[in-house]
């Protein structure tokens, strides 16, 4: 695809070239009838690697830096399609953003809380649910109309969970009859939204963040009570940009987060740690493949994200953290994983919100464990990029594993993975999980519909190959 850029190289600056590259790549990927992973059986993982930057933090760094006063430099920004969708959305609204360069450095000249301009067209957010749900709150009161749209998968995902509370605050938002995208946010004569006291009906960091970000523009104090801990990157980053929050722990599970509207954000530099969700595939791979000894460097270990570590350790995994420190308000560490025979467990429900994105990978660990693993309280998995419960059950059954799906989880009986052809349903986490399964399979595993891996983990195949996984991709 690089040849498509050659005619422009002498005419336009580096940033325009980069933007054109990503637009062209997305178009080319959409034209591909299929991108398939072919994972050969056997092998082990070893060495030291650093996975790409945290997607959740990358999204939020673009959003808050754009609305801050001053210049922000972001290091380690994830150059995946989802994060780039957020970046391009703010460029479309008049924010000057340079980068990312080859090492993920981005500089942003903030426009302040009220400096965004109306985009010329709809903000196209691709497959990024985080972009759409957080922007629903952030753009609810800017004095101009805006439309948020996404790809076919994103257009099927539920959005009323964010539009309903923001509309309670006074926003005017139109959805489809099914409560899905595209979302049309209408300008209002009201100068401000009204603060609300909102109790989340489910443990969801995206809904919590949406309401809090809308609260930045609300008159009064907006408070969100969550029924169980969820990732707190929004709260940490708001404080990093100088915005005051009140955080009250109500009991072992529930917390209440409040902020007053009408404040400002002050630019600060951000170092994005390696993504623990992307690290999860390698944690599972190194745990299940005999002879593995792998170190993942500079991984974010935010307490609201370490469910994957807690669950694997309860299954008997050999995981050791070292070089622990705090960078930009986020705790990080190197994580060493050595292979061991895992055992099946009943996954504690209090760990489910802390590992909600990692259950496709955890399912592979369960398939290779001795005994039965039971997951409950994870109905949220049915409304991700795919129905992840059904997708994993279908794939594992194809590979010879005795398992079944339930309304809110799975029951997986450990056994011998066989060879087979599975469908990722265009879900990046399903694709990467089944690629790791080949480390313990009796034959090769072919995974179809893998183009969306670039949404969260560009370079996955090359990095996996570098530490011992025999995987390749085929475009047809």
- Catalytic residues, which ones? 357
Question: Does residue 427 contact residue 455 with C-beta atoms inside 8 Å?
Answer: no
Coil/strand/helix, residue 241: coil
Distance CA 352, CA 307 (A): 7
DSSP 273-338: PBPHHHHHHHHHHHHHSTT-EEEEEEEE--TTTTHHHHHHHHTT-EEEEEEEEEETTEEEEEEEEE
Beta bridge partners of 36: 474
**What does the radius of gyration of the chain's CA atoms come to, in whole angstroms?**
22
DSSP 84-144: HHHHHHHHHTT-EEE---TT--EEEE---TT-----SS-EE-TT-HHHHHHHHHHTTTSSS
Distance CA 108, CA 61 (A): 10
Distance CA 133, CA 237 (A): 17
Distance CA 373, CA 366 (A): 6
Coil/strand/helix, residue 17: helix
Q: Which two tokens stand for residue 331?
A: 């705790």
Characterize the bridge pairing of strands 255-260 and 96-98.
unpaired
């Amino acid at each position: 695809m690089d040849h498509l850029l050659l005619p422009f190289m002498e005419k336009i600056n580096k940033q325009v070239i980069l933007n054109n590259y990503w637009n062209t790549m997305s178009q080319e990927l959409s034209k591909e009838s299929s991108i398939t992973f072919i994972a050969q059986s056997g092998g082990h993982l070893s060495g030291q690697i650093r996975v790409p930057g945290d997607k959740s933090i990358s999204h939020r760094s673009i959003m808050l830096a754009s609305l801050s006063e001053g210049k922000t430099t972001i290091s380690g920004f994830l150059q995946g399609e989802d994060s780039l969708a957020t970046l391009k959305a703010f460029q479309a609204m008049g924010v000057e953003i340079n980068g990312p360069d080859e090492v993920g450095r981005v500089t942003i000249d903030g426009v302040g809380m009220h400096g965004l301009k109306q985009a010329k067209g709809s903000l196209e957010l691709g497959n990024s649910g985080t972009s759409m749900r957080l922007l629903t709150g952030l753009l609810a009161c800017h004095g101009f109309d805006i439309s948020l749209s996404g790809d076919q998968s994103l257009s099927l995902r539920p959005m009323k969970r964010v539009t309903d509370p923001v509309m309670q605050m006074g926003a005017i938002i139109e959805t489809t009859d099914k409560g899905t995208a595209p979302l049309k946010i209408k300008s209002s004569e009201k100068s401000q939204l009204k603060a609300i006291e909102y109790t989340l009906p489910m443990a969801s960091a995206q809904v919590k963040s949406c309401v809090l970000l809308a609260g930045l523009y609300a008159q009064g104090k907006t408070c969100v009570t969550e029924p169980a801990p969820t990732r707190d990157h929004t709260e940490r980053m708001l404080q990093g940009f100088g915005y005051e929050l009140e955080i009250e722990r109500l009991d072992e599970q529930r917390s209440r987060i409040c902020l007053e509207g009408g404040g400002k954000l002050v630019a600060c530099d951000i170092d994005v740690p390696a993504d623990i969700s992307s690290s999860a595939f390698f944690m599972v791979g190194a745990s299940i493949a005999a002879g593995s000894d792998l170190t993942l460097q500079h991984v974010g270990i935010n307490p609201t994200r370490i469910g994957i570590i807690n669950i694997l350790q309860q299954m008997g995994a050999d995981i050791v953290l070292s070089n622990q420190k705090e960078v930009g308000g986020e705790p990080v560490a190197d994580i060493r994983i050595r292979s061991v025979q895992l055992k099946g467990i009943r996954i504690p429900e209090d760990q489910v919100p802390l590992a909600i994105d990692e259950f496709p990978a955890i399912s592979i660990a369960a398939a290779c464990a001795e005994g039965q693993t039971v997951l409950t309280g994870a109905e949220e998995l049915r409304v991700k990029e795919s129905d992840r419960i059904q997708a994993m059950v279908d794939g594992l059954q194809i590979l010879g594993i005795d398992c079944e799906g339930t309304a809110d989880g799975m029951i997986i009986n450990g056994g011998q993975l066989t060879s087979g052809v599975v469908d990722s349903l265009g879900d990046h986490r399903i694709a990467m999980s089944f690629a790791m399964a080949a480390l313990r399979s009796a034959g090769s595993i072919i995974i179809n519909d893998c183009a969306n891996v670039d949404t969260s983990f560009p370079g996955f195949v090359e990095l996996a190959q570098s530490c011992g996984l025999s995987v390749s991709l085929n475009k047809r």
